Amino acid sequence: MTKIIVEKSPALKGTVKISGAKNSVLPIIAASLLSSGEVFIDDIPELEDVNVIIELIKYLGAECTLKDGKLRIMVDIKDVEAPYDLVKKMRASFLVMGPILAKLGHARISMPGGCAIGTRPIDLHLKGFQTLGANINIGHGYVEATAKKLIGKKVYLDFPSVGATENIMMAAVFADGVTAIENAAEEPEIVDLANFLNKMGANIKGAGTDTIRIEGVKELKGTEHTVIPDRIEAGTYMVAAAMTGGNVLIENVIIDHIKPVIAKLTECGVVITEEANGIRVKGKKNYKAVDIKTLPYPGFPTDMQAQMMAMMSCAKGTSVIIETVFENRFMHVDELKRMGANIKIEGRSAVVTGIDHLSGAEVKATDLRAGAALVLAGLVADGKTVINDVHHIDRGYVKIEDRLSKLGAIIYREE
Ligand code: UD1
């Protein structure tokens, strides 16, 4: 089994270039199923989750060629069913339901499995499809949706779910009339998906606000699109630079997208400056503990909660971290505690009292961002940290050990 070993590292120095956003590229590849023409997507990150979605759309009938980070897709959907074997690997596979339903009026997708960070239901996705006129049947571990013709309607989301907003937006592109998604998610990845769909000929307005209007069109043509940079990868390297007291230039970032992370790090005492090619993060020795509450965008991202907890584990003072997006996203706490962190969980809050030194230990990545948090903790912990279950980390970070090594970190893989 592959392990990542991290040793106490010097202050990180140099430049790191951020990859295309995982959470943008997954729905965009799924949305390519709607196109009748040739699609080119640029800045595809080399990630396990990306391989999974490509495998899935190939199964459904797409022809895909990936070369030098550019993916060419030509679609001729042959199957309306996404089987268990492909969907169980990644929850985001469920995003093919909206496009297949829109294009063929019938989709049968394996229920996404339970996930480590909470129950993560799909009720909001299904409520949206139903409101647009689809019949939904659940049985034998599959969700089946059928509709002769989807009809544009008002869909109110009880929670601004990212996945539900994307799936309903894709389902509505060919619907008769106008669909309005209210209390929609406002994440930058939603805007990127809407831009991609509009380039193909869709008529979507309001992405990035809480109401998205989609006017149905007849057909989508081919296009070229470059994916936005990954704000969570950027945030993770910002924390790495800060925790080690480093000086790192982070290239290929959209500053607006990482404002909540910049604000929190600045509050802790990190010096962050904008430069022509990106942002520079200058760290120091001791940081002030700050409170954090995760929220849908533009609030503080839940995908940065674990990494900030690693940082707060060795800050000066006590930090209260409240997770409001997922109900069970504190699995990294037990692992950080193995490294000496002083953390108490009370419901959806974690009370973190900073200590002087974490100590290297054998730990496991329980999910993607939890794994990133352990890498960060390992950079400052005394001795060696051995991280197991690193496949979680590979789902969302491109060559993490190479990129950190180039910045001076002591990190390597062991088979
Ligand atoms: C996406 C991101 C993930 C990020 C999350 C929140 C992708 C591929 N993944 O996940 O990295 O952590 O947004 O920013 O983009 N919910 C329901 N019913 C539903 C759908 C969701 O109750 O039908 C709940 C979930 O259980 C969760 C909350 O809504 O508590 C947020 O989930 P959602 O925004 O849907 O996250 P994902 O799209 O799965």
- Candidate of 117, 127, 138, 162 to mutate for ligand 1, largest count of ligand atoms within 8 Å of Cβ: 162
What is the position in ligand 1's atom list of the atom closest to the CA of 232?
11
- Separation of alpha carbons 47 and 319, rounded Å: 33
**Token digits of residue 101:** 């339903």
Nearest residue (by CA) to ligand 1, atom 4, is 303
Q: What is the model's pLDDT at position 112?
A: 81
Ligand 1 centroid to Cα of residue 161, in Å, is 5
Q: Which position has the token pair 């309903």? A: 168
Task: Please list the active-site residues.
Answer: 115
Ligand 1 centroid to Cα of residue 259, in Å, is 21
- Separation of alpha carbons 387 and 244, rounded Å: 19
AA identity, residue 99 = P
CA torsion angle for 168, 174, 180, 186 (degrees, to 10)? Answer: 50
Q: Please spell the DSSP secondary structure of 137-195, one letter per residue.
A: EEETTEEEEE-SS-B--EEE-SS--HHHHHHHHHHGGGSBSEEEEES----HHHHHHHH
Contacts of 116 (CB under 8 A, 6+ apart): 328, 331, 366, 367
- Separation of alpha carbons 6 and 359, rounded Å: 11
Which phi and psi angles does 103 have, rounded to 5°?
-80, -40
Q: Let me know: does 371 contact 393? Beta carbons within 8 Å.
A: yes
Q: What is the model's pLDDT at position 85?
A: 87
Q: What is the model's pLDDT at position 182?
A: 98
Q: Tell how far CA 14 is from the center of its chain.
A: 25
- Separation of alpha carbons 66 and 58, rounded Å: 12
Q: Let me know: does 99 contact 106? Beta carbons within 8 Å.
A: no
- Separation of alpha carbons 395 and 159, rounded Å: 26
Give one word for 391, left, alpha or beta, with left for phi > 0 and alpha for psi -120 to 50: alpha
Q: What is the model's pLDDT at position 16?
A: 98
Residues of the chain with pLDDT below 70 are 113-120
Q: What is the model's pLDDT at position 117?
A: 52
What is the position in ligand 1's atom list of the atom closest to the CA of 92?
8
The full length of the chain comes to 415
**Token digits of residue 91:** 């929850």
Ligand 1 centroid to Cα of residue 399, in Å, is 25
**Percentage of residues in the chain having pLDDT higher than 90:** 91
Q: What is the model's pLDDT at position 116?
A: 54
Count of H helices and E strands in the chain?
A: 14, 24
Ligand 1 centroid to Cα of residue 147, in Å, is 25
Nearest residue (by CA) to ligand 1, atom 25, is 120
Q: What is the model's pLDDT at position 180?
A: 98
